């Protein structure tokens, strides 16, 4: 009874995700069956459906573009904090040198 190996992380195009969401909305097959047919996880398919609803304004939450902007701002914030930390260290170093 060993544990299942985690799946390698895969990326999918927005077009592919939209097709999967459309299949789910048609209701011909269950989310589980669609996930199985396309070798996806049910969680991923459900998340894509929820995100599509948010993007369409049918559900509250951050749209895809807002998520991308937030991620970019967080990266920039992290980089700027690192820059400030480096400058603080350099200032301390040079303050010791001039004494």
Tokens of 50: 């929820």
Q: What mean pLDDT comes out for the span 39-58?
A: 95
Under DSSP, the state recorded for 4 is P
Dihedral sign for Cα 51, 57, 60, 65, please: positive
Q: What mean pLDDT comes out for the span 23-29?
A: 93
Q: What mean pLDDT comes out for the span 24-28?
A: 92
| Confidence band of 97 (pLDDT split at 50, 70, 90) | confident
pLDDT value, residue 4: 78
- Say yes or no to pLDDT of 2 above 80: no
pLDDT value, residue 79: 98
Cα-Cα end-to-end distance for the chain = 67
State pLDDT tens for residues 61-89: 999 999 999 999 999 999 999 999 999 99
């Amino acid at each position: 009874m060993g544990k299942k190996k985690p799946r390698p992380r895969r990326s999918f195009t927005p077009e592919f995700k939209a097709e999967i969401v459309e299949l789910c909305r048609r209701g011909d097959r269950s989310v589980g069956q669609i996930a199985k047919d396309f070798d996806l996880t049910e969680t991923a398919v459900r998340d894509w459906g929820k995100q599509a609803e948010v993007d369409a304004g049918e559900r509250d939450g951050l749209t895809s573009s807002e998520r991308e902007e937030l991620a970019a701002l967080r990266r920039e914030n992290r980089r700027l904090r690192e820059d400030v930390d480096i400058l603080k260290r350099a200032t301390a170093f040079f303050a010791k040198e001039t004494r």
